[in-house]
Chain A
Amino acid sequence: MSYILLRILILVSIVMTSSCSSFLNFSDQSSSANNALAEKESNTQIVDNKKARAELNRALSAIKSHDMAAADSAFKAMLLAGAQSPTALNHYAIFLREQWRMEEAEAMYLQALKNSPNNAMTHWNIAIFYELYRGDYQQALDHYQAYQQYAASPDKRVIHWISDLNRRIEKESS
């Protein structure tokens, strides 16, 4: 019995692995999602000034050059220049998470949401942030659901993730 069960589990995992493999190229997925988001965000996007945009570009270049200090400096300059857009703030938030500066990253996401509460991208990103790097499943769940709400079209994967999170929350609460 256990053997059969084991096999079933293996199969499930294989299926899941195969499904996951379709997501291996995350950037591809995200880029398609981004396309979808782009259409919906166009109405809400806050256009930053030239200075802010220039600083953001400078920060991204620095990241490519693996000059994280310069990147951080540019991001700060960007904020000082008055950057408010979800795009700018999400860039900075992701940079901060990669630098393992979790508190600042969370604050940046929240600032982005404050500026653009309906921004699906931000809800996506902060949901992953809470799930993986904070283990705060409830927050993650909320933001996945918000993503679904604000995204141009709900993501099927997110449906599974929400389901999984609900299960884990239920498990923890029990």
Chain B
Amino acid sequence: MLRSPFLKLSMLFFIVYLSSCTLLGDRFFQQEDLSKQVDNTLAELPKARDHLKELRTQTIDKLSEATEESLLLEVSTAYKEAFSLADKPLVRQEIQQRLAYIHLQIAEERQVNDASLPPKAVYKEAIDSYLALLAHYDQQDGLAVIQADEALFDEALFDKAVFDEALFDQGLFDEDQLDQILYPLAKAYEMSGDIPKALAVFNRLVIEAPNSVYYSEAQFRRAEILFAAADYAAASHAYRSVIDRSTLLLNTSKQSAKKTDNSATFLMNSWYMFGWSDFKLGRYRSAIKAFFTVLDNQPQLDTDNELLAKHALSSQQALTNDTLRVMSLAFSYEAGSETIADMLDEFYVGLSEPEYVPKLYQNLAGLYLEKKRFIDSADTLAAYIYRYSKASNAPDFHKQLIEVYAAGVFPDRVREQKQQYVQAYGVHSEFWSMASTESRLAIQDSLSLYIKELASYYHHLAQTKQRQRKASLYRIERNRIEQNPIERQAVIDESVQLMSEQDIQLLYQQAGDWYETWIANIPSSAEIDNIWFLLGETRFESKSYQLAIKAYENAAYGSFGRQDSSGIDSSPNPTATEPVFNQHNEAAYAALLAYDHLIAGHNSHSPINDDVNASKQQIEQQTEQWQIAKNQSALLFVSTFPNDNRSNAVLAQTLQSLFSLKQFNETIKVGQQLVDRLAIDNTDASSTSVEDSQKFKVIAYLSIAHAQRELHEYDLSEQAYAEVLSVLNKDVGSSLYQQHYAASLENYAASIYQQGLLQTEAGEHALAANNFMRVVELAPSSSIRLSAQRDAIALFLQIKKWRKAVTVMTDFQQRFVTDTATKAMPSQLLLAYKSLEDWPLAAAQAKKISVDDDDPNVRQQALYSAAEFYYLAEDIDNAIDSYRSYAHSYTLPLADNMEAQYRLTELYAETLALDKRAYWLRKLMVTHKNAESPTERSRYLAAFSAVELAETTLLSYQSIPLAHPLKQSMANKRKAMKVSLDAYHKALSYNLELFSTQATYRIAEIYAGLASALLASERPAGLTALELEQYNFLLEEQAYPFEEKAIDFYTINIERSWQGIDSEWVRDSYQALAQLIPAKYGKREMLPERM
């Protein structure tokens, strides 16, 4: 069969096939051998061992084994037959070599197919075959057969085996044959479990065939065996040889050479194991460098098979992790994170650092943590954070750092690091400004957690310290009161340990700062309102009331005044359906309380209060601004939380504030708002008690009333005050009543009174007086009632409502006896009576004043007035009595005195008491004569009196008839005439036209009358006609001079008329002269006829 052409052809095929199988077998060998060696070597490193297993399983090809052994046996038989037929040495050697390989393959098949077979037995034939080949090779070269004893090898031999690049390139080496023998032999030894002989053969191969394609593998096998035998130095050397050869080939670009030694295949494993070897030798830096090389040269996965790719990736990751772990160990044996940094700086100068750098730190930190070396672990993480502060994973490292401290129970450091975390990555950090939205979102949870924890911590601490302080101070005070010095001292000693109030405030301030940070960092949190509230609480406790107010208001009113500086969408989280905070009204109310403290000057942080140079005016202005702001907040509270049972109280307080700020229109508006609320409360039977309702109603109406009064809307304020009184009257005697009634009544009265005043200014006196009287009627007990009644009186007098004035004045006099107005009342009453022309009352009032008044001038004037009023009342007796009393009592002023005398002359004329009249006429003349400063009036009255007295003498004179005997009667007549003439001449002496013309006329008349009387006198009886004629002549002679005298005096009056003087006496003088001298004075105008 073998001789047939087909068989020959088949043999050739098998020969070629086996040649190819050699390579395949190499691969098999390579993998299994490595597996065994490394398994042993890495026994103490579980991960490394696992990895090697994976490597082994990863590259196993599934071939059909069942029929392979029989096929190989047939081939072996065929080769043996061929060997027996071959006669040429080279052919025989070739066949022998083929047979050796086939034996090796058969052994492998057997070992695979039946693991129970003893390896030595299985590989014996193969080993023998190769030993035979080797022996033949040695005989050819004259070399002794290599003893399978490694002790025979000198280390120096390895260094002598120098790689010859030219020879390697040409492939003309002896070891071409030798390495083909040594390599499978070594393999067979190793597979058979005879490791020392395998090592010996490998040793010879690397020494005697340094240019062999098996060189790298041989070195690698050596290294593995040596490593497994804990000969780390030799192993390291062997691994290094693989690396050097690979590096050399790479650098000399021998990848395309005809011969390849597969050094690259072992390169990474060599680096890896080289690292391990040096690690074992304590050469950590060298080891780390090797590991860096391994990590930096991880192959790129390039396969379309997803399963394989996944498998490969998993293996690669395992190797990476293992490498990293051993590196961590190495770093930990060196200077830890400092070494990492040093190595990185050394390796990657000018290059970008590898991506796994974080893992270096992280693994090192993890290693420390496993060993409970918390500080080292934390320091490692901190080193990374420090070195890579802008790295996107820096926050993660920081978070781990915090967790490390937490695990180590270092609370202070935890807190410190949380603070640093917030500072480093919070919204105000440079990191945040540079970070992407994803990065920001990634750290927000931690930010939120840490800030809240920090805030809570400081808040809780402050509260605890505050409670302790209060409790201690309370005990001190109690002991002081109980006078227990011993316990008191003990408590005082204890209190020394207490935190000061300022320090507690600082704690609150710190807590508040963290709440602020929280808000700034997590503005869109569903908890935001609660945090605002807590911020308010802490600011309040640290007496930063302005900040507290802002926080409280933000908590209460949501977006009210909120500023988002985070750069993250602060819109409410739509997923946050569960309310986290339900105390908005409490926050709003707390803001108002904070305002109260602020306004009360308790804000120790106010820039104004801190400024010692701030003027009082500045402080007042600031306080006013706060007050205004508080009022706005209060109104917002009420509008936002209308059902809060404190709303009414808030409104009530706001009202008082608005009023104090002089915001009167707003006061009225808010007051009405409160009134409306209370009205609704009443109908709704709200929680407001009756007492509170009444109290608020009083405050509301009072505020409205006060404001309206300030706005001069007195009619409206009157109504509001009336409402107050109405409410108070519902519970007379209550504390509310006692507190407000009197004042409200006063204000009520004042409002009405003010209406009166305004109307007075507007000239509406009647309306004003009515309003003043309304005060009297509606608020008779008010203090302003007196003024009102007094003003009403004045107005009634002014508008001449005399009857009303008298009534009100009479009442006033009785009620207010001692009032100054009462003292003036008699004269006002007098005016009223006078105006009413109620002369009897006027006279009586004047008489009363003339007696009672303190002022003598008033008394004097009143007496004169009394006299006049008595006269008007037709009470002549009292009039005369008063004038007389006046004339006698008050000589000055001269005018009044003389008028009184004059009035007496008139009254006595009326009563026909002519003697008394004559007395006062004479008195007038005397008074004028004696006056120091006579006046025209006094001269007139004196002249008048003189004429009046003369007139009386004229009557006497005219009453005397001229009868027979004429001589006697003439004597009497002339005597009377003289008296009368003297009287008229006296009157003329005053030289007053009015009375001069009269006196002149009377004198003329006296003369003319005497002449007429003479001519008409009785004639003696018994006269003859002649005697009678002579008698008549005699009479005419007697009468003529008197008539001439009469004409002269009449003419005087005529001439006076030429000077423009006119009087009845002048005109009568014309008449008289017209009769006495008609030719001269009887001339008359021509009266023209009527037209």
A and B pair up? yes
Residues on A lying within 8 angstroms of B by beta carbon are 3, 6-7, 10, 16-17, 19-21, 23-24, 26-27, 30, 33-34, 37-38, 48, 53, 56-57, 60, 85-88, 90-91, 94, 97, 100, 102, 121, 124-125, 128-129, 131-135, 161, 164
For B1036, B1084, B1085, the residue with the greatest tally of chain A CB atoms inside 10 Å of its CB is B1085
Provide the bound-state CA to CA distance between A164 and B1084, in Å.
Answer: 17
Provide the bound-state CA to CA distance between A37 and B1082, in Å.
Answer: 21
Residues of A within 8 A of B1057 (CB): 133
Provide the bound-state CA to CA distance between A34 and B1084, in Å.
Answer: 13
Provide the bound-state CA to CA distance between A98 and B224, in Å.
Answer: 176
Provide the bound-state CA to CA distance between A135 and B1052, in Å.
Answer: 12
B1087 interface residue, CB < 8 Å from A? yes
Query: 18 A-B Cβ contacts within 8 A?
Result: A6-B1040, A16-B1079, A20-B1079, A20-B1082, A23-B1082, A24-B1078, A30-B1085, A34-B1089, A57-B1090, A85-B1091, A88-B1091, A91-B1088, A94-B1087, A97-B1085, A128-B1085, A129-B1085, A132-B1083, A133-B1057
Partner of A132, one of B1040, B1070, B1079: B1070
Residues of A within 8 A of B1086 (CB): 30, 33-34, 37, 90, 121, 124-125
Residues of A within 8 A of B1089 (CB): 34, 38, 87
Is B1062 within 8 A of A56, CB to CB? Answer: no
Proximity bits, B1020-1064, A CB within 8 Å = 1, else 0: 000000000000010011001000000000000011011010100
Partner of B1091, one of A21, A23, A53: A53
Q: Do A87 and B1082 form a contact, CB below 8 Å, given A6-B1037, A10-B1036, A100-B1062?
A: no
Task: Using CB atoms, name the residue of chain A closest to B1036.
Answer: A10
Task: Using CB atoms, name the residue of chain B closest to A83.
Answer: B1091
Q: Give the distance to chain B from A166, nearest Cβ to Cβ, in Å.
A: 14
Q: Give the distance to chain A from B929, nearest Cβ to Cβ, in Å.
A: 34
Provide the bound-state CA to CA distance between A84 and B1084, in Å.
Answer: 23
Provide the bound-state CA to CA distance between A3 and B1037, in Å.
Answer: 9
Task: Using CB atoms, name the residue of chain A closest to B1067.
Answer: A100
Number of A-B contacts (CB under 8 A): 83
B1081 interface residue, CB < 8 Å from A? yes
Is B1090 within 8 A of A56, CB to CB? Answer: yes
Q: Do A135 and B1058 form a contact, CB below 8 Å, given A20-B1078, A121-B1088?
A: yes
Provide the bound-state CA to CA distance between A121 and B1055, in Å.
Answer: 26
Is B1078 within 8 A of A128, CB to CB? Answer: no
Residues of B within 8 A of A121 (CB): 1086, 1088
Q: Give the distance to chain A from B1031, nearest Cβ to Cβ, in Å.
A: 15
Provide the bound-state CA to CA distance between A56 and B1091, in Å.
Answer: 8
Is A134 within 8 A of B1058, CB to CB? Answer: yes
Provide the bound-state CA to CA distance between A24 and B1067, in Å.
Answer: 19
Is B1081 within 8 A of A132, CB to CB? Answer: yes
Residues of B within 8 A of A86 (CB): 1088
Q: Give the distance to chain B from A171, nearest Cβ to Cβ, in Å.
A: 14
Q: Give the distance to chain A from B1089, nearest Cβ to Cβ, in Å.
A: 7
Residues of A within 8 A of B1070 (CB): 132
Q: Give the distance to chain B from A95, nearest Cβ to Cβ, in Å.
A: 10
Task: Using CB atoms, name the residue of chain B closest to A21.
Answer: B1078
Is B1091 within 8 A of A19, CB to CB? Answer: no
Proximity bits, B8-24, A CB within 8 Å = 1, else 0: 00000000000000000
List 3 A-B pairs, minimum CB-CB distance, nearest first: A87-B1088, A135-B1058, A26-B1084
Interface contacts beyond A10-B1036, A23-B1082, A135-B1055: sample of 20 additional A-B pairs, CB < 8 Å, sorted by A:
A6-B1037, A19-B1079, A26-B1083, A27-B1084, A30-B1084, A30-B1086, A34-B1088, A37-B1086, A91-B1087, A94-B1085, A97-B1085, A121-B1086, A128-B1085, A129-B1085, A132-B1081, A132-B1083, A133-B1057, A134-B1058, A135-B1054, A135-B1058
Residues of B within 8 A of A48 (CB): 1091
Is A30 within 8 A of B1079, CB to CB? Answer: no
For B1033, B1040, B1084, B1091, the residue with the greatest tally of chain A CB atoms inside 10 Å of its CB is B1091
Residues of A within 8 A of B1085 (CB): 30, 90, 94, 97, 124-125, 128-129
Q: Give the distance to chain A from B1056, nearest Cβ to Cβ, in Å.
A: 10
Residues of A within 8 A of B1081 (CB): 132
Residues on B lying within 8 angstroms of A by beta carbon are 1033, 1036-1037, 1040, 1054-1055, 1057-1058, 1060, 1062, 1067, 1070, 1078-1091
Residues of B within 8 A of A97 (CB): 1085
Residues of A within 8 A of B1033 (CB): 7, 10
Is B1040 within 8 A of A10, CB to CB? Answer: yes
Provide the bound-state CA to CA distance between A92 and B980, in Å.
Answer: 42
Is B1091 within 8 A of A26, CB to CB? Answer: no
Provide the bound-state CA to CA distance between A91 and B1089, in Å.
Answer: 9
Is B1088 within 8 A of A60, CB to CB? Answer: no
Is B1058 within 8 A of A23, CB to CB? Answer: no
Q: Give the distance to chain B from A100, nearest Cβ to Cβ, in Å.
A: 5
Q: Give the distance to chain A from B403, nearest Cβ to Cβ, in Å.
A: 128
Residues of B within 8 A of A37 (CB): 1086
Provide the bound-state CA to CA distance between A133 and B1040, in Å.
Answer: 26
Task: Using CB atoms, name the residue of chain B closest to A19.
Answer: B1079
Q: Give the distance to chain B from A62, nearest Cβ to Cβ, in Å.
A: 13
Residues of A within 8 A of B1079 (CB): 16, 19-20, 23
Q: Give the distance to chain A from B1060, nearest Cβ to Cβ, in Å.
A: 8
Provide the bound-state CA to CA distance between A141 and B223, in Å.
Answer: 188
Residues of B within 8 A of A91 (CB): 1087-1088
Is A90 within 8 A of B1088, CB to CB? Answer: yes
Is B1087 within 8 A of A27, CB to CB? Answer: yes
Q: Give the distance to chain B from A127, nearest Cβ to Cβ, in Å.
A: 9
Task: Using CB atoms, name the residue of chain A closest to B1081.
Answer: A132
Q: Do A133 and B1058 form a contact, CB below 8 Å, given A90-B1088, A121-B1088?
A: yes
Q: Give the distance to chain A from B606, nearest Cβ to Cβ, in Å.
A: 91
Provide the bound-state CA to CA distance between A16 and B1077, in Å.
Answer: 9
Residues of B within 8 A of A60 (CB): 1090
Provide the bound-state CA to CA distance between A19 and B1079, in Å.
Answer: 8
Q: Give the distance to chain B from A157, nearest Cβ to Cβ, in Å.
A: 9
Is B1088 within 8 A of A128, CB to CB? Answer: no
Q: Give the distance to chain B from A152, nearest Cβ to Cβ, in Å.
A: 13
For B1062, B1087, B1090, the residue with the greatest tally of chain A CB atoms inside 10 Å of its CB is B1087
Provide the bound-state CA to CA distance between A33 and B1085, in Å.
Answer: 11
Provide the bound-state CA to CA distance between A115 and B1078, in Å.
Answer: 32
Residues of A within 8 A of B1062 (CB): 100
Provide the bound-state CA to CA distance between A137 and B1080, in Å.
Answer: 12
Q: Give the distance to chain B from A12, nearest Cβ to Cβ, in Å.
A: 11
Is A26 within 8 A of B1082, CB to CB? Answer: yes
Q: Give the distance to chain A from B155, nearest Cβ to Cβ, in Å.
A: 171
Provide the bound-state CA to CA distance between A37 and B1089, in Å.
Answer: 11
Is A23 within 8 A of B1088, CB to CB? Answer: no
For B1033, B1054, B1058, B1084, the residue with the greatest tally of chain A CB atoms inside 10 Å of its CB is B1084
Provide the bound-state CA to CA distance between A34 and B1087, in Å.
Answer: 8
Residues of B within 8 A of A134 (CB): 1058
Q: Give the distance to chain A from B652, nearest Cβ to Cβ, in Å.
A: 79
Provide the bound-state CA to CA distance between A21 and B1075, in Å.
Answer: 10
Is A128 within 8 A of B1084, CB to CB? Answer: yes
For B1060, B1062, B1080, B1088, the residue with the greatest tally of chain A CB atoms inside 10 Å of its CB is B1088
Provide the bound-state CA to CA distance between A16 and B1084, in Å.
Answer: 17
Q: Give the distance to chain A from B1082, nearest Cβ to Cβ, in Å.
A: 7
Q: Give the distance to chain B from A113, nearest Cβ to Cβ, in Å.
A: 14
Provide the bound-state CA to CA distance between A131 and B1055, in Å.
Answer: 11
Provide the bound-state CA to CA distance between A129 and B1084, in Å.
Answer: 9
Q: Give the distance to chain A from B395, nearest Cβ to Cβ, in Å.
A: 120
Q: Do A23 and B1087 form a contact, CB below 8 Å, given A10-B1040, A100-B1067, A135-B1058?
A: no
Provide the bound-state CA to CA distance between A161 and B1080, in Å.
Answer: 8
Task: Using CB atoms, name the residue of chain B closest to A78.
Answer: B1091
Provide the bound-state CA to CA distance between A90 and B1088, in Å.
Answer: 7
Is B1083 within 8 A of A131, CB to CB? Answer: yes
Q: Give the distance to chain B from A106, nearest Cβ to Cβ, in Å.
A: 12
For A26, A34, A87, A131, the residue with the greatest tally of chain B CB atoms inside 10 Å of its CB is A26
